[in-house]
Amino acid sequence: MNNLTQDQAATPASGKRFRLTVRSAEEAVRVIRDKLGDQARVLSVRQVGGEGLKRFISSPKLEVIAEIPADDSDEISDSGLLEEAEVSEDLAVADKEAPSSNAPNLPEDPGLSDVSFDESNDKVRLLRKAGFDLNLLGEIQSWSSWQEMKDKPLADVLKEITVGLSDRFRSTKLTPTTDKIALIGAPGVGKTTTLCKFLAHEVFMNKKIPFVLKVENGIPNPDDALRIFCEVIGVTLFREPEGMPQVSEESPLYLDFPGLSLSNLQDWVEAKQTLDAMQVDTRVLVVNGAYERDILLRSIRSAKHVGATHLAITHFDELSNSTKLWPVLLQEDLSPLCICNGQNVTGDFSTNVLNQLISRTFPEELYARGFSSYKNV
Ligand SMILES: Nc1nc2c(ncn2[C@@H]2O[C@H](COP(=O)(O)OP(=O)(O)O)[C@@H](O)[C@H]2O)c(=O)[nH]1
Ligand SMILES: [Mg+2]
């Protein structure tokens, strides 16, 4: 749950200021980093309580004022008056001017400009304000059921969106995994961490005896952390296929790949040759869910060259909500495999992708509003 508004009063010379309402300091750090970038500086923090009925159904919030300096030499001034502005516009400004800290710097998502909104509809305005992904909002408005649902009370609209998304999710391709599972993707997205989570799950929950092959394919793939983790949980790590035991349901093989560059398709083509030669049928594309949509889509496009079958999403814990991921999951041909929620290799992981996405689709504040809209009927 967060709310970000831009200081319209600030002149470009003194940078742009944003007011941010969050539930915790941790969330503030995350949202500032995701939406405003590394350059953003916090000017003030203050605790705010709810009003009226909301005081009883929502916990205290923090109001944070942050600024993106227009120029490093600028002095920070905290004397300006902040004015409320449309949140979605502010987010667009923030996204354009301060790309996500850990994502490569790529052009703005071309799809966004095509999304049109029914501004006269209060639900659309509310969802935009709540930080709902604009592409998803555009998609929902194109549903045949939208015309009927859009004028219902908020609680009903939220419920019908949830049902609509769940139905669409259930109709996506579900491919079972096989006994040979490769984790592939761009550098640093969380491939090895995700692999360790699967290993721990196999050993402790499924009581299986997995083993691991570390692949290099001419690209360095340091393995200190993986080696130590395998030692700790009693899994054998191989560095070449020779001498590996027979793969079976009880003894599945996991392959740890080096990062494949998004700007070098040849990396992906070569990985495909290795996977084909080893008859690895389950090819999991790992993406960092906190990256911009454009980069996620680029990754998915590159993964076609490797014959990817499944999708694993990491860094879900760093997202303020899951709405950006819905259109990615619903449109693409990859079977959703898991969501990773943190760095803890023996936890922070779920294969119930639908539940994870649903639980982070609407901020609690919207449910609270939906609840009060019922009371007004
Ligand atoms: N917050 C968060 N960090 C993660 C997650 N998955 C991986 N990481 C971190 O991301 C960094 C890169 O992970 P790693 O598995 O080495 O990436 P690889 O290069 O793709 O193998 C490490 O610092 C991990 O601890 C996640 O779901 N959430
Ligand atoms: Mg790795």
- 140 vs 108, 134, 158, 163, CA distance in Å? 22, 10, 11, 12
Q: Is the pLDDT of residue 260 over 60?
A: yes
Q: Is the pLDDT of residue 51 over 60?
A: no
Of all atoms in ligand 1, which is nearest to the CA of residue 196? Answer: 15
For the Cβ of 191 lying below 6 angstroms from any atom of ligand 1, the answer is yes
> Sheet harboring 180-184: ordered strands across?
236-238, 211-214, 253-256, 180-184, 282-288, 310-314, 335-340, 349-350
Predicted confidence band at 313 (pLDDT cuts at 50, 70, 90)?
A: very high
Residue type at 149 in one-letter notation? M
Residue 236 has what pLDDT?
Answer: 96
Q: Which residue has the higher pLDDT, 102 or 341?
A: 341
Across 153-164, average pLDDT: 93
In terms of average pLDDT, the best of 51-55, 86-90, 173-177, 270-274 is 270-274
**Residues 59, 23 contacting (CB under 8 angstroms):** yes
Fold category of 118-377 in CATH: Rossmann fold (3.40.50)
Q: Show the beta-strand stretches assigned E in the chain.
A: 3-6, 16-22, 41-48, 61-68, 180-184, 211-214, 236-238, 253-256, 282-288, 310-314, 335-340, 349-350
Q: Is the pLDDT of residue 352 over 80?
A: yes
CATH architecture of 8-87: 2-Layer Sandwich (3.30)
Nearest to 324 by CA among 133, 117, 129, 125: 133
Q: Which residue has the higher pLDDT, 53 or 188?
A: 188
Residue 25 has what pLDDT?
Answer: 65
Phi-psi region of 11 (alpha: psi -120 to 50; beta: other; left: phi over 0): beta
For the Cβ of 314 lying below 6 angstroms from any atom of ligand 1, the answer is yes
Report CA(100)–ligand 2 centroid distance (Å). Answer: 21
Residue 75 has what pLDDT?
Answer: 36
Predicted confidence band at 55 (pLDDT cuts at 50, 70, 90)?
A: very low
Residue 374 has what pLDDT?
Answer: 59
- 97 vs 43, 69, 70, 104, 366, CA distance in Å? 19, 11, 10, 14, 28
In terms of average pLDDT, the best of 19-33, 179-193, 354-368 is 179-193
**Residues 363, 130 contacting (CB under 8 angstroms):** yes
Residue 66 has what pLDDT?
Answer: 76
Report CA(315)–ligand 2 centroid distance (Å). Answer: 15
- Cα–Cα dist 201/226, whole Å: 15
Q: How many CA atoms lie within 13 Å of 4's alpha carbon, on the beta-carbon side?
A: 28
The CA radius of gyration of the chain, in Å to the nearest whole number, is 23
- 334 vs 94, 128, 233, 247, 298, CA distance in Å? 30, 28, 30, 24, 14
Pairing label, strands 41-48, 61-68? antiparallel
Q: Which residue has the higher pLDDT, 2 or 236?
A: 236
Beta bridge partners of 18: 6, 66
Report CA(238)–ligand 2 centroid distance (Å). Answer: 15
Predicted confidence band at 373 (pLDDT cuts at 50, 70, 90)?
A: low
Report CA(285)–ligand 2 centroid distance (Å). Answer: 13
For the Cβ of 190 lying below 6 angstroms from any atom of ligand 1, the answer is yes
Nearest CA to ligand 1 atom 13: 190
First to last CA, the chain: 26
Across 54-62, average pLDDT: 50
Which ligand approaches the C-alpha of residue 220 most closely?
2
pTM of the model: 0.71
For the chain, give the mean pLDDT.
79
For the Cβ of 192 lying below 6 angstroms from any atom of ligand 1, the answer is yes
Across 196-205, average pLDDT: 91
Residue 162 has what pLDDT?
Answer: 95
- Which of 192, 193, 346 for a ligand 1 pocket mutation test, highest count of atoms within 8 Å of Cβ? 193
Of 38-47, 188-197, 220-229, 304-313, the least confident = 38-47
For the Cβ of 14 lying below 6 angstroms from any atom of ligand 1, the answer is no
Residue 19 has what pLDDT?
Answer: 79
Report CA(47)–ligand 1 centroid distance (Å). Answer: 32
| pLDDT tens per residue across span 71-125 | 543 333 333 323 332 222 233 333 333 333 344 333 334 344 456 677 778 889 8
**Residues 212, 237 contacting (CB under 8 angstroms):** yes
Q: Where in the chain are the domains?
A: 8-87, 118-377
Dmax (CA) for the chain in angstroms is 70
Residue 376 has what pLDDT?
Answer: 53
Report CA(226)–ligand 2 centroid distance (Å). Answer: 8
Residue 303 has what pLDDT?
Answer: 96
Q: Is the pLDDT of residue 2 over 60?
A: no
